[in-house]
Amino acid sequence: MTENKSNTALKILTGILAVALIALGIYTVRFYNEEKENQQILQNEKAVIEDELNDLIVKYDEAIATNEVMDQDLVEARQRITVLLDSVKDSEANLVLISRYRREIGALRSEKDRLFRVVDSLSNQNRLLATTIDSTNMVLAERTRMSDSLQQTNQSLSTKVDRAAQLKVTSLKGEGVIVRNNGKLVTNNRTRRIDQIRTCFTITANPLSEAGEKPMYVQVYNPANELVGDELAVQHEGGVMVYSAASTVYYENEELDVCILSNTEKNKLMEGTYKVYVYAGPELIGTSSFNLR
C-alpha cells in the first residue's frame, strides 16, 4: 500500500516537473523571440537614423552647390553630420544610443532649418539688391537728373544688408584647466587631471551690431562625439539646442575677450581631438579644436 502511494506521488511529481519544464521552454522561446524582435526594432531604428542623416547630407550638398553665401557655415554643419553618421554606423544599436542620436538629429535639424533660413534670406536680399541695381541703371540711363537720389537709395539698401551681419569671433581656443583651491586656473592637457574645459575667444568690434547683453553658448564634443558639459537645453525660435555651458556678456561694439568654463565628467574625458563650437544666441559664430592626452 505504501509502495503504491509512493509510486503515485512520484508520478505526480514527475508530471509537475514535466509541466514546469514545458512552461520554462515556452517562456524561454518567447523571451528569445521578444529579444530578437526588440533587437530588430533597434536595428530598423538605427537604419532610419542613418537614412535621415544621409538625407540631411544630401540637402546640405544641394545648398552648398547652389549658394555662395554662408558657404563655410554650411560646409562645417555638413561635416558635423558626417561625423555623427560615422558614429552611428560604428555603434551597436541600443536604446540609450538611439535616444541620444535622436536628440542630436533634432538639434541638427534645428540648425539646418536656421542656416537655410539665413541662406534664403541673404539670397533674397542679394536678388533684391541686384534687381534694384538693374532698375537703378535703367532709370539712370533714362533720367540722369535722378542719379543722386538713386545712389542714395542703393547705399541705403547696402547698409541694410551690412547690418544683417552677425557677431564674429577671433582667437578661439579650447583647453583643459585645473581649478586650484584658491580658485586659480592652471592649463593642463592630461585628461586624468583636468577639472574643467575653458573656451576663450575675442568678439570683434562691429559698430553696426546692436550693443547690449549677448547670450553666448559653447558646445564641447569629445573624440567620441559626446557633448561634454552641463547639457543645457535652450529653447530658440527654431527649436531646442543643447549646450555645454553658457554666459551672458555685455557687448559695446568694441573688442571683448570672453572665457566660458564647461564642467567635465571623468567618463567623458578621453585622449584625442575635441571640437568646440561657439554660438551667439542660436547663431554659430566660431569653431575650433584642441587635443587632450
Full pLDDT tens readout for the chain, 293 residues: 566 666 676 767 776 766 666 656 555 545 444 555 556 666 667 677 777 777 777 776 777 676 665 567 667 777 777 776 676 666 665 656 666 766 776 766 776 677 667 766 666 666 676 676 766 667 666 666 665 555 665 565 555 544 555 789 999 999 999 999 888 999 999 988 899 999 999 999 998 888 899 999 999 999 999 999 999 999 998 899 999 999 999 999 999 999 999 999 889 999 999 999 999 999 999 999 999 99
Q: Which residues of 267-277 are buried (b: 16+ CB within 10 A; e: fewer)?
A: eebeeeebbbb
> 76, 48, 60, 71: which is closest to 289 by C-alpha?
76
Q: Measured between alpha carbons, how far is 250 from 216 in angstroms, rounded to an integer?
A: 10
Its pTM stands at: 0.46
Helix (H, G, I), strand (E, B) or coil at 184: coil
Count of beta carbons in the 10 Å neighbourhood of residue 137: 11
In the numeric block, which cell numbers belong to residue 264? 567635465
Structural domains of the chain, ranges and CATH numbers in brackets: 1-164 (no CATH), 169-292 (2.60.40.10)
CB atoms within 10 A of CB 182: 5
What size, in residues, is the chain?
A: 293
Spatial separation of the C-alpha atoms in residues 135 and 129, rounded to whole Å: 10
Nearest residue to 110 via CA among 284, 271, 268, 272: 284
